[in-house]
Amino acid sequence: MDDDGDPRWLTHDETRAWIALASTIVWLPTALDAQLQRDAGVSFVEYTVLSWLSMRPGHASRMSEIAALANVRLSHLSRIATRLEGRGWIRREPDPDDGRATLAILTDAGWDKVVATAPGHVAEVRRVVFDGLTPEQVEQLQQIGAQVVHAVQPDLCLPEPGQDVPG
């Protein structure tokens, strides 16, 4: 609302940008999930959890931090973690610094799964996101994505890829 209490309608250009972003939000996860299910037998959210753990120091993170990154409730993440544990890809143990918290730890088999899955996932991400962008647009995409995430979730710290991390 503006100072007069009237709605601040989107401009024509903002409406076009919003439609593109909303369509991306709807269709991109579906495309990535389909590729991961077909080629690696994991869902997008399962791979995301494994991938984010692979980027953390010691390949470990508190379950609450992973839940925040994945935007899922802790109970939902617990069900995901149970599936990943059942496949031998993660293990859970109490956080030695805070016994009330639980750590998710990527196992060697989980690391191997990330390494084996990453090439196909990266190829699909490259195909559907990056192949049509210029380097300047890639930088803009990173900045815009970070800005939007920060506006929605100011305290969220996005993972930083390391040198030894597959895409």
Q: Where are the domains of the chain?
A: 40-152
Q: Which of 124, 60, 66 is nearest to 97 (CA)?
A: 60
Helix (H) or strand (E) holding 105: strand 98-106
Compute the mean pLDDT over every residue in the chain, rounded to the nearest whole number: 91
Q: Which of 165, 153, 142 is nearest to 69 (CA)?
A: 153
CATH 1.10.10.10 describes domain 40-152: yes
Which two tokens mark 146? 């970070």
Q: Is the pLDDT of residue 164 over 70?
A: no
User: What is the predicted pLDDT for the residue at 2?
Assistant: 73
Q: For residue range 89-137, list pLDDT tens digits in order.
A: 999 999 998 888 999 999 999 999 999 999 999 999 999 999 999 999 9
Strands in 60-62's sheet, in edge-to-edge order, are 60-62, 98-106, 90-95
d(CA 136, CA 104): 36
Single-letter code of the amino acid located at 53:
L
Q: Is the pLDDT of residue 165 over 80?
A: no
Which two tokens mark 72? 């899922």
Phi, psi of 95 (to 5 degrees): -70, 120
User: What is the predicted pLDDT for the residue at 90?
Assistant: 98
Least confident of 43-47, 88-92, 124-128, 157-161: 157-161
